[in-house]
Structure 1
Amino acid sequence: MNVRPVRISLLAVTTGALIASSVAVSAAAPVPAPARQSTSAVTSSVADAPVERLIVGYKSGAAEAKSNDAATKDAKAKGKETGESLGFDRRLGTGAALVDLGGELKKGSLDQVIDTFRADSEVAYVVPDRRMYAMADPNDSDYGRQWDLFEATAGMNVPGAWSKATGEGVKVAVIDTGYVAHSDLAANVVAGYDFISDPFMAQDGGGRDSNAADPGDWMNRGECGTDSNGQPVPPQNTNNSWHGTHVAGTIAAVTGNGKGVAGIAYNATVQPVRVLGKCGGTTADIIDAITWASGGTVSGVPANPNPADVINMSLGGGSACDAGSQSAINGAVNRGTTVVVAAGNNNANAAGFNPASCNNVITVAASDREGNRAAYSNYGSVVEITAPGGETTASAANGIWSTLNTGTRSVGSESYSAYQGTSMAAPHIAGLAALMNEAKPELTPAQISTAIRENARTLPGSCSGGCGAGLADASATIAAITGGTPDPDPDPQPGDGVFTNSANVNIPDYGAWIASDIQVTGRSGSAPAQLKVPVDIKHTFRGDLVVVLEAPDGTDFTLKNLSQSDSTDNITQTFTVDASRVAANGTWQLWVRDTYANDTGYIDSWGLNF
């Protein structure tokens, strides 16, 4: 008897989290960036960083949900009950109350204070206001090539989408460290906002204001306190990351200007929304930033004149998604904003990270230049899609190149550098979402997520733990939503051909192989090294399917292995195989086998695109 896991129906939009990423294509060889220190060491103590405030969500009918005076009185009462000095700080954009713990807790534990709020029937949720950090690993080696956009093995097939969309008229908010001036990005940047409420963390002489400029996020060893083991946070001195600018360059760096890099959605606008500074950022500030960026109202902050169609969050912290963050994300999605987040850089299950494990976000894992899950990338069932994140540990040429600055402890001169991280992968998907918004503006965030997943291609390398639907394919996705067919070669050569079969071949239940044929004629020599194989299989449980392409000489190319953990319906994607060693002409066959009983499906259509 065959046994498999209970089927879980995947939502159109799953979850999000942690750290995102950025990428760009080089139009001319940029100057090398100076040596930089990795920010990854900072993140190891994120979960242990001291908690100074709580986010308290009251039920809608409670007086504390509507009145700041009532919330103030309740905080004082709870403080008296626990022997602590609690106070109401401010109202968040979601309506939740931010409660100050009054410094170090005197008598009780943090859990005791939280439990006191939870015991109140008027409280819907209470969560710590934790710190979050940018999570990318910079590298100081020379720039190689922008493989992530166009390279056949593991690039995202971006050039093939540009004939139909470039992001014109689409607004993308980058919730990150802010923006440091760069001539390869400036034309596409619109005014943002600085949501860092703590002047020490802001490092720009004040708290919240309308200036989203990034003054730098350098830190000295131990400047952010100690962790639960008494170790300094951060454990070593760090220099400026200019993380938000690197992310923004991947999304919308100016293209066709004869220098630097190209953005994925190079005619979109980027709005910097600053939440990360010295010692990271707080959940409360990020909640307000999500609300404001998507067009919601935040008390004391002017309305956003450019509400985002897409939000990118290349940030995160330890612990699963909290109710406060989820509330802000739900509000943004309900306003029509697609929210893209990074899976995280801990080589762990993304379900344990925030906002990667939130619902209604697109959570992005990172792949390397060979198409494997990057060694650092988080994984798991909450991951929806994988995009290039690079691995500079092997070589700077294998990293993601984008806009940066030379300043280590202050603003220097503009530059470019290769970074690695899920922080570099997420902006790839944010850029793709921007292209989709232009190509078909009526798409909802859920439909955008679904289209990205359904048009992904199988990772050419390996993935343990779960990498979502596979490697995102910009060309196939844009073609699918516009009713066209993917262009595997933006500059087609004479003799290119497309062979298709509208098969409608039923797949036998459990065990037997079934084949659909395509007869190729009129070709000379061998098939291409990058033969595209678009496949459309309708099936109620695609994880049970094995799909193999057989060449005329009998050579087999496995397009999909058995994956019991993949419970999504249907296979709708374009596979790529190296068929350069087999003759093009003859009968090609697509073989499909269902390895489990009680599911139904059929080969709808498939093709060979030379």
Structure 2
Amino acid sequence: MGTPLRAVAVVVALATLGLTPPASAQAQADFVKAREPFAGSFLVSLKDVPRGQATGQAQNQAQIQAQIQQTSEQLVGRYGGKLKSVFSVAMQGFLVRDLSDGQARRLAADPAVKRVFQDGTAKVADTQANATYGIDRVDQRNLPLDTKYTYNTTASNVTTYVLDTGVRKTHSEFEGRAQYGYDFVDEDAEAQDCNGHGTHVSGTIGGKTWGVAKKTKLVAVRILGCGGSAPDSDGVEGIEWIAKNAVKPAVVNGSFTFDTPGIGDDAITRLTAAGVTFVVAAGNSSADACNTGPARNTSVVSVGATDNADNRASFSNYGSCVDIFAPGNNITSASHSNDTGSTNMSGTSMASPHVAGGAALYLAGNPSSTPAQVLKALTDNATSGVVKNPGSGSPNKLLYTAAFGGDVPNPPCSGGSNADDVAIPDAGSAVSSSVTVTGCDGVGSASTSVKVDINHSYTGDLAIDLVGPSGNAIVLRKAGGVGSASGIHETFTVNTASENKNGTWKLRVTDVYSYDTGNIDSWSITF
């Protein structure tokens, strides 16, 4: 839902900006309470500061991280508690433990602080049941089921990150494709599953028997404990880890619900802005999904559940914050109890991984697509009008995967590409990479796609233009604002109808600040 802005790392306030005693006007603290608090734990979101306000004007990523670390340490030193984690990629802020509510409210009033979230209790989103039908349903438009699952790709080039209870990576369903990312419950590198939820979800995404995307790489990021719950902040730490480590094309599945309203929103929005599709469970309260996080976030793909008769499942949340439905009642998948076992579960937790698998199938043939484009593909290709009683405000859309898979061939006279590297000088003159189009008739289109792959150590330095055969420039990206060290790997949609297709098109890039360098890796234009 919606189109997220690209932003993955931001500059924080220096100590001189954030550690002055709060004025009376600042005492109106933005403090968000949890429904089920995790005692003494608070997630602090710091205010964004324009890059030019930071010392040195041109900060690299290491300096930005150091500033966030310094500000976090000094705020904890002033208001109390113990600093547990600092966030600098998916969000700007820190996690503090052993803090009283009073101390947290005083911290929330500090001018460097945007918001303080009382740490809530994140939970899995499932109930237990029996029987199966999931992947049999999503590859056909209508009932009855044909007892087959047809797929056009296995998504072997896509990595799916599973934020959950961990995984039994030795299970035969995963064929060695499952691996540990990190365990934020035990704070170690072994994300073993002692609950079963994460292994079941992973099997639906990418198991050889029960999986939608049968060869996707699976990375378990453990944020929920053996009982299926943990502090909300473990989830935010998991999102930060993915933001730092994601290998694209990538999908994240989040079959859980946050407790504290709005917690994690900044981190999720920035992760999707960085090009990672985030699929989440809508929740199991039979209520408005807009009251549940992370389903409420407009940058995620929020999934409701149906049963084997295409009814909205009795437990499934609904409403305008739901993007799509998928099978979620009585789903069979891998068990964590041994390397060959299976088990049956129900919940929007089981619906979400069907859609995550569908997203992986789409990305297999469209690896540069943005999360917004993935969402559009999922909803445009979904089967309309078959969900019975979808709920007030819900879209009547059921996941359909048979449309996805394989490379999509370019039509005749589609455009061109250039994969020759061009160095981008530090704070230097503009450089360009050219594509010459011949044999085409007419003018460009109102929805021309310009796919850009640029490597650079701080993307906020870069101004990017598309220059047409006439010499007129179309701005793709302005310099300044926020940036990252991960480069720019994005597809821009622009109007080229004022230009002839034939001729030389240029991607022009200018580095406007000092200290960081990079190169144009490749680019293409498709009319």
TM-score normalised over the length of structure 2: 0.63
1:136 matches 2:126:
yes
1:374 matches 2:313:
yes
2:381 to 455, 461, 476: 455
Q: What is residue 45 of structure 2 aligned with on the other side?
A: 57
Q: Deviations over 1:459-504 (max 9, x none)?
A: 24222223335112112456997799xxxxxxxxxxxxxxxxxxxx
Task: Give the direction of change, closer, same or farther, for the CA distance of 1:78–1:416 in structure 2 (3 Å limit).
Answer: same
2:368 counterpart SS class: coil
Report the AA paired with residue 174 of structure 1: V
Q: What is residue 418 of structure 1 aligned with on the other side?
A: 344
Report the AA paired with residue 135 of structure 1: A
Q: What is residue 332 of structure 2 aligned with on the other side?
A: 401
CA shift for structure 1 position 266: 0.4
Question: Residue 139 of structure 2 contacts residue 402 of structure 2 at CA under 8 Å; is this kept in 1?
Answer: no
Q: Deviations over 1:197-225 (max 9, x none)?
A: xxxxx4xxxx32221222x1xxxxxxxxx
CA shift for structure 1 position 116: 2.1
Report the AA paired with residue 148 of structure 1: R
2:398 counterpart SS class: coil
Question: Residue 158 of structure 1 contacts residue 475 of structure 1 at CA under 8 Å; is this kept in 2?
Answer: no
What is the percent sequence identity of the aligned residues?
27
Report the AA paired with residue 321 of structure 1: G
1:446 to 339, 362, 372: 372
CA shift for structure 1 position 182: 4.7
Aligned counterparts, 1:179-578, within 5 A: 179-196=167-184, 202=185, 207-214=186-193, 216=194, 240=195, 242-254=196-208, 261-278=209-226, 280-294=229-243, 296=244, 304=245, 306=247, 309-322=250-263, 325-390=264-329, 399-406=330-337, 412=338, 414-456=340-382, 457-476=384-403
The whole-number CA distance in structure 2 between the counterparts of 1:11 and 1:176 is 25
The whole-number CA distance in structure 2 between the counterparts of 1:472 and 1:436 is 12
CA shift for structure 1 position 145: 8.4
Report the AA paired with residue 213 of structure 1: Q
2:220 counterpart SS class: strand
Question: Residue 176 of structure 1 contacts residue 276 of structure 1 at CA under 8 Å; is this kept in 2?
Answer: yes
CA RMSD in angstroms comes to: 3.2
The whole-number CA distance in structure 2 between the counterparts of 1:431 and 1:155 is 22
1:99 matches 2:96:
yes
Question: Residue 366 of structure 1 contacts residue 373 of structure 1 at CA under 8 Å; is this kept in 2?
Answer: yes
Q: Deviations over 1:142-192 (max 9, x none)?
A: 6688643456645999977623x2212111111111111454323252432
CA shift for structure 1 position 372: 1.2
1:475 counterpart SS class: coil
Report the AA paired with residue 202 of structure 2: A
CA shift for structure 1 position 267: 1.7
The whole-number CA distance in structure 1 between the counterparts of 2:204 and 2:289 is 23
1:442 counterpart SS class: coil
Q: What is residue 109 of structure 2 aligned with on the other side?
A: 119
Q: Deviations over 1:94-126 (max 9, x none)?
A: 341212234xx4xxxx3x444323322211222
CA shift for structure 1 position 378: 0.6
Task: Give the direction of change, closer, same or farther, for the CA distance of 1:188–1:357 in structure 2 (3 Å limit).
Answer: farther
Report the AA paired with residue 386 of structure 2: L
Report the AA paired with residue 318 of structure 1: D
The whole-number CA distance in structure 1 between the counterparts of 2:395 and 2:146 is 18
Aligned counterparts, 1:37-116, within 5 A: 47-61=35-49, 66=67, 68-79=69-80, 86-93=81-88, 94-102=91-99, 105=100, 110=101, 112-116=102-106
Report the AA paired with residue 356 of structure 2: A
Query: Which ranges of structure 2 fall in alignment gaps of 5 or more residues?
Result: 6-33, 56-64, 412-527
Q: Deviations over 1:354-377 (max 9, x none)?
A: 111112100000011111110000
Question: Residue 65 of structure 1 contacts residue 96 of structure 1 at CA under 8 Å; is this kept in 2?
Answer: no
The whole-number CA distance in structure 1 between the counterparts of 2:241 and 2:356 is 18
Q: What is residue 234 of structure 1 aligned with on the other side?
A: none
The whole-number CA distance in structure 1 between the counterparts of 2:4 and 2:75 is 37
The whole-number CA distance in structure 1 between the counterparts of 2:270 and 2:226 is 28
Which sits farther off after the overlay, 272-281 or 471-480?
471-480
Task: Give the direction of change, closer, same or farther, for the CA distance of 1:67–1:169 in structure 2 (3 Å limit).
Answer: closer
Q: What is residue 151 of structure 2 aligned with on the other side?
A: 162
Larger Rg: 1
Report the AA paired with residue 400 of structure 1: I
Q: Deviations over 1:287-332 (max 9, x none)?
A: 22122224x1xxxxxxx3745610000011334332xx12221222
Task: Give the direction of change, closer, same or farther, for the CA distance of 1:265–1:132 in structure 2 (3 Å limit).
Answer: same
Report the AA paired with residue 285 of structure 1: D
The whole-number CA distance in structure 2 between the counterparts of 1:127 and 1:436 is 35
Point out which structure has higher relative CO (alpha carbons under 8 A, 6+ apart).
1
2:258 counterpart SS class: strand
Question: Residue 42 of structure 2 contacts residue 118 of structure 2 at CA under 8 Å; is this kept in 1?
Answer: yes
Question: Residue 161 of structure 2 contacts residue 251 of structure 2 at CA under 8 Å; is this kept in 1?
Answer: yes
2:240 counterpart SS class: helix
Q: Deviations over 1:55-102 (max 9, x none)?
A: 1122244899825454333224334xxxxxx33333135341212234
Q: What is residue 2 of structure 2 aligned with on the other side?
A: 11
Query: Which ranges of structure 1 fall in alignment gaps of 5 or more residues?
Result: 1-9, 15-45, 80-85, 197-201, 217-239, 255-260, 297-303, 391-398, 407-411, 485-610
Question: Residue 381 of structure 1 contacts residue 468 of structure 1 at CA under 8 Å; is this kept in 2?
Answer: yes
Question: Residue 53 of structure 1 contacts residue 101 of structure 1 at CA under 8 Å; is this kept in 2?
Answer: yes
Task: Give the direction of change, closer, same or farther, for the CA distance of 1:135–1:160 in structure 2 (3 Å limit).
Answer: closer
The whole-number CA distance in structure 2 between the counterparts of 1:434 and 1:157 is 23
Report the AA paired with residue 66 of structure 1: Q
Question: Residue 193 of structure 1 contacts residue 209 of structure 1 at CA under 8 Å; is this kept in 2?
Answer: no
CA shift for structure 1 position 447: 0.5
Q: Deviations over 1:533-554 (max 9, x none)?
A: xxxxxxxxxxxxxxxxxxxxxx
CA shift for structure 1 position 416: 0.8
Which sits farther off after the overlay, 92-101 or 266-275?
92-101
The whole-number CA distance in structure 1 between the counterparts of 2:406 and 2:113 is 47
